[in-house]
């Protein structure tokens, strides 16, 4: 007797799947506050020539590339990777497109009105959704200078979330998680002004997770898709590179 789940999988495989993650190698950018030696991908640990195989070792920051931030990244006592149920990482995907506004203003910060305008067109954001902010900033990857977009004075400029919008999404729409294409949650101008990544701290203080440095959101419709997020099961990790993908309707 055939399994209904197997039939569901066959139907899902007929859909378009979009990789939402950047490929990683030893030239991939990461936070420049890290010490030397934190990145070494695909080193050969032991060559088993007699058995015609080899074993690789990998050294990398938890917050590298397209990655998941768990609450304990900012919040003492917050949940770690091992505290999350698998069902928390397969979610309805909503994509808020702000790419045109960011073209004319790289410091653009999403507003509650942006969310309301989106809902006028696409309906109310559903409970337990993953809401991604599309800015097309991922197209700057892997150029670290372009991602930071610093001016002559060294001040960085890139778009971000606001506390007001995150409060609206988590309190009024009961979303499960949020994500973005930039390397930080907060717009650079605001985090510099307040001296903190306050928007990121807000999300993680809710005991929720977020994804950073997402890719290919321009290939995903506003509503109707699913997001699947996979990461190594390192139970005490407060952040990990992920392989995330969207399954389109």
Domains detected in the chain: 16-24+62-247 (3.50.30.50)
pLDDT of residue 112: 98
pLDDT of residue 163: 98
Mean pLDDT of the chain: 95
H, E, C per residue of the chain: CCCHHHHHHHHHHCCCEEECCCCCCCCCCCCCCCCCCCCEEEEEEEEEHHHCEEEEEEECCCCCCCEEECHHHCCCCCCCHHHCCHHHHEEEEEEEECHHHHHHCCCCECCHHHHHHHHHHHCCCCCCCEEEEECCHHHHCCCHHHHHCCCCCCCCCCCEECHHHHHHHHHHCCCCEEEECCCCCECHHHHHHHCCCHHHHHHHHCCCEEEECCCCHHHCCCCCEEEEEECCCCCCCCEEECEEEEECC
Half-sphere exposure of 211 (CA within 13 A, CB side): 33
Collect the ranges in the chain with pLDDT lower than 50.
Answer: 1
Q: How does strand 90-97 pair with strand 243-247?
A: unpaired
Q: Report pTM.
A: 0.94
pLDDT at 48: 67
- Per-residue confidence (pLDDT) for residue 49, from 0 to 100: 66
Tell me how far apart the terminal alpha carbons of the chain are, to the nearest angstrom: 28
Q: What is the pLDDT of residue 47?
A: 66
Closest CA to 170 of 80, 248, 71: 71
pLDDT of residue 53: 76
């Amino acid at each position: 007797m055939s399994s209904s789940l197997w039939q569901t999988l066959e139907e899902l495989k007929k859909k378009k799947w979009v990789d939402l993650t950047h490929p990683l190698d030893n030239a991939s950018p990461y936070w420049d506050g890290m010490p030397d030696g934190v990145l070494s991908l695909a080193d050969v640990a032991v060559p088993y020539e007699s058995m015609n195989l080899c074993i690789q070792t990998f050294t990398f920051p938890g917050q590298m590339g397209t990655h998941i931030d768990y609450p304990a990244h900012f919040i003492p006592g917050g949940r770690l990777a091992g505290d999350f149920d698998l069902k928390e990482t397969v979610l309805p995907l909503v994509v808020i497109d702000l790419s045109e506004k960011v073209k004319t203003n790289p410091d653009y910060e999403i507003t509650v009105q942006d969310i309301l305008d989106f809902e006028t067109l696409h309906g109310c954001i559903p409970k337990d959704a993953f809401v991604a902010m599309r800015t097309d900033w991922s197209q700057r990857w892997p150029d670290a200078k372009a991602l930071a977009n610093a001016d002559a004075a060294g001040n960085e400029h890139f778009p971000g979330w606001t506390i007001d919008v995150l409060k609206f999404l988590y309190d009024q729409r009961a979303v499960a998680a949020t994500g973005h294409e930039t390397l930080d949650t907060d717009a650079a101008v605001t985090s510099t002004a307040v001296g903190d990544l306050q928007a990121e701290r807000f999300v993680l203080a809710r005991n929720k997770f977020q994804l950073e440095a997402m890719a290919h959101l321009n290939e995903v419709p506003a509503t109707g898709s699913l997001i699947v997020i996979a990461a190594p099961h390192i139970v005490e990790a407060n952040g990990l590179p992920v392989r995330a993908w969207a399954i389109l309707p």
